[in-house]
Amino acid sequence: MAKPTIAGNRTGRKLGQRVKNKKMKASSRQWLQRHINDPYVQRAQLEGYRARAAFKLLEIDEKHNILKGARRIIDLGAAPGSWSQIAAKVTGSTDEDIRVAAIDFLEMDQLPGVKILQLDFLDPSAPAQLIEAVGGTPDVVISDMAAPTTGHHRTDHLRTMHLCEVAAHFAVQVLGEGGHFLAKTFQGGTERDLLNMLKRHFKQVVHVKPPSSRAESVEMFLLAKGFKGRQPEPDISEA
């Protein structure tokens, strides 16, 4: 897959625009100003992606080659749907032959070739519904889930890491051999138990931060490649 370049501005919009609405809070005005001047936002609009997050997945795939040959993909925390758009394209998923299942508690507009579940992934019924929706064994599980932020770094980190851990255990339960798992995490350290679990089940486990992830953002992505197949859990009684 060709690496997405962002040189130049082909949207016709001038970079460096300022938001002059004085009724807005300063923080809101700064966020909006950064957003409209973000070349990745403009590129996403030009190429028909629902969010700039599309380029995070494309860049990770360009370096780590996790989407090539994928036939079925499950997308966790999918709204607004840019990762699902990519998943549908690489799998050749259609409404007649669904190969991509997406879940989010937020409402999502429909996407061709994607079965969308509006449901909290932590709902006990979610895993079974996802497997039924994707129609077979997935090759890739991707997760852009993050807990709503509170402004307290430690709390936000722990809440998002919990989602990452649940997603990881789900991936180990459903992936086909040789499959891959990608999930959002936050800088501040991945729990050792989670890393050890992934290293038991995958050939390679790395942290990645794609260029399109803003430098000031604390997000990173945890990538586990080459699923070894279901492995028996270690017997701690014999330790």
Q: In CATH, what number is assigned to the domain containing residue 90?
A: 3.40.50.150
Q: How many domains does the chain have?
A: 2
Q: What is the pLDDT of residues 135-151, one digit of tens each?
A: 999 999 999 998 776 77
Full residue range of the structural domain in which residue 33 is found? 15-47
Give pLDDT tens digits for 81-96.
999 999 999 999 999 9
Give catalytic residue positions. Answer: 184
Residues 145 and 212 in one domain: yes
Token pair listed for 201:
């089940």
The backbone region for 114, taken as left when phi is positive above 0, alpha when psi lies in -120 to 50, beta otherwise, is: beta
Distance CA 198, CA 190 (A): 11
Q: pLDDT-based confidence at 186, cuts 50/70/90?
A: confident
127 and 160 part of one domain: yes
pLDDT recorded at residue 14: 46
Calculate mean pLDDT across residues 21-27: 53
> Is 5 domain-assigned?
no
- Residue 131 shares a structural domain with residue 225: yes
Regarding whether 171 and 83 lie in a shared domain, the answer is: yes
For a pLDDT cut of 90, what percent of the chain falls above it? 59
Report the pLDDT value the prediction gives residue 112, as an integer from 0 to 100. Answer: 97
- Three-state DSSP class for residue 80: coil
| 22 and 94 assigned to the same domain | no
Together in a domain, 134 and 104: yes
> Does 217 map to a domain?
yes
Instruction: Give pLDDT, residue 25.
Output: 57
Mean pLDDT of the chain: 83
Give the whole-angstrom CA distance, residue 210 versus residue 218: 12
Q: Are residues 94 and 194 in the same domain?
A: yes
Looking at the fold, whether 30 and 123 belong to one and the same domain comes out as no
Place of tokens 């936002």: 41
Name the nearest CA neighbour of 137 among 176, 92, 172: 176
pLDDT surpassing 50 at residue 202: yes
Identify whether residues 37 and 134 lie together within a single domain.
no
Residue 191 has pLDDT above 80, yes or no: no
What is the pLDDT, as a whole number, of residue 158?
A: 80
**Tens digit of pLDDT for each residue in 89-115?**
999 999 999 999 999 999 999 999 999
Q: Of 47, 70, 89, which closes a domain?
A: 47
Same domain, 127 and 27: no
Residue 235 included in any domain: no
Pick the more confident residue, 104 or 161: 104
Above pLDDT 70, what percent of the chain?
A: 78
